[in-house]
């Protein structure tokens, strides 16, 4: 099914107050909720403009990830910022990196080697030690650690919060999301660490085509979330 018809010829970026707007044939675009579409950095405005320029006769919204991010920030995150911060911070209570296998020994060793340095980083950076658990049984994390990680989330401006939200929800790890935001990890490194168990299973049993397709989509979404952080890092 094709998308809406392209109705514009020229896409421009214009300075508007403290930020930037994107215009189509001189008319500023708006969000789905009809709000002013404005972004805080030229880099993000240029990325959005490039997405609009790249559209063919029929629009393909799935190929406009940064435009979707701006819409979600303006229409969704800004009006309910506190709830978004709470949702992202909640991942600290069940962080992927804290849940370890009880067998085989080789997988246990790989988790220790790959995941422990990130938990050490979170402990040292945010004074937020987390407790390890074996298997899937939940473990209660220290409230002081959760509070400190929550404050780290709250320090993100609205656009960075949108990117962090997806980094965390895709990876299942608040620590990995914060590590990308803080440039402790590159996005591809963090995603690989979040897939450690999956990659182990692939090594043992081989790849599944459907799972590989889902993994590729996650990788693309993860990269765009990290890109949003880089496009707004000068705020």
CATH number where 181 lies: 1.10.3580.10
Domain-terminating residue out of 22, 41, 71: 71
CATH code, domain carrying 65? 3.30.2180.10
Instruction: Let me know whether 26 and 106 are in one domain.
Output: no
Domain extent for 209? 81-231
Instruction: Let me know whether 134 and 202 are in one domain.
Output: yes
Residue 215 confidence (pLDDT) above 70: yes
Structural tokens at position 89: 């911070």
Q: Which element (helix H / strand E) includes 208?
A: none
1-9 own/partner pairs: CB under 8 Å, 24+ apart: 2/58, 3/58, 3/59, 3/60, 3/61, 4/58, 4/59, 5/57, 5/58, 5/59, 6/55, 6/56, 6/57, 6/58, 6/59, 8/52
- Supply the pTM of this predicted model: 0.95
Instruction: Let me know whether 58 and 90 are in one domain.
Output: no
Round to whole Å and give the CA distance between 148 and 198.
30
Residue 91 confidence (pLDDT) above 60: yes
Domain count across the chain: 2
Q: What are 159-180's pLDDT values in tens digits?
A: 999 999 999 999 999 999 999 9
Instruction: Let me know whether 146 and 179 are in one domain.
Output: yes
């Amino acid at each position: 099914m094709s998308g809406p018809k392209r109705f514009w010829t020229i896409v421009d970026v214009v300075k508007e107050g403290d930020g930037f707007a994107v215009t189509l044939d001189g008319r500023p675009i708006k969000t789905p909720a009809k709000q002013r579409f404005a972004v805080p950095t030229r880099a993000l405005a240029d990325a959005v403009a490039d997405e609009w320029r790249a559209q063919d006769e029929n629009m393909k919204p799935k190929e406009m990830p940064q435009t979707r991010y701006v819409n979600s920030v303006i229409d969704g995150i800004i009006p309910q910022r506190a709830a978004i911060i709470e949702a992202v911070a909640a991942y600290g209570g069940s962080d992927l990196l804290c849940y370890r296998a009880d067998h085989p020994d080789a997988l246990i060793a790989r988790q220790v080697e790959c995941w422990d340095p990130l938990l050490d980083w979170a402990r040292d950076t945010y004074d937020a030690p987390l407790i390890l658990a074996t298997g899937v049984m939940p473990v209660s994390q220290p409230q002081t650690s959760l509070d400190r990680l929550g404050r780290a989330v709250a320090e993100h401006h609205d656009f960075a919060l949108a990117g962090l939200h997806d980094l965390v929800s895709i990876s299942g790890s608040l620590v990995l999301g914060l590590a990308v935001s803080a440039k402790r990890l590159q996005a591809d490194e963090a995603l690989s660490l979040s897939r450690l168990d999956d990659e182990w299973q692939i090594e043992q049993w081989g790849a599944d085509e459907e799972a590989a397709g889902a993994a590729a989509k996650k990788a693309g979404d993860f990269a765009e979330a990290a890109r949003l952080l880089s496009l707004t890092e000068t705020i």
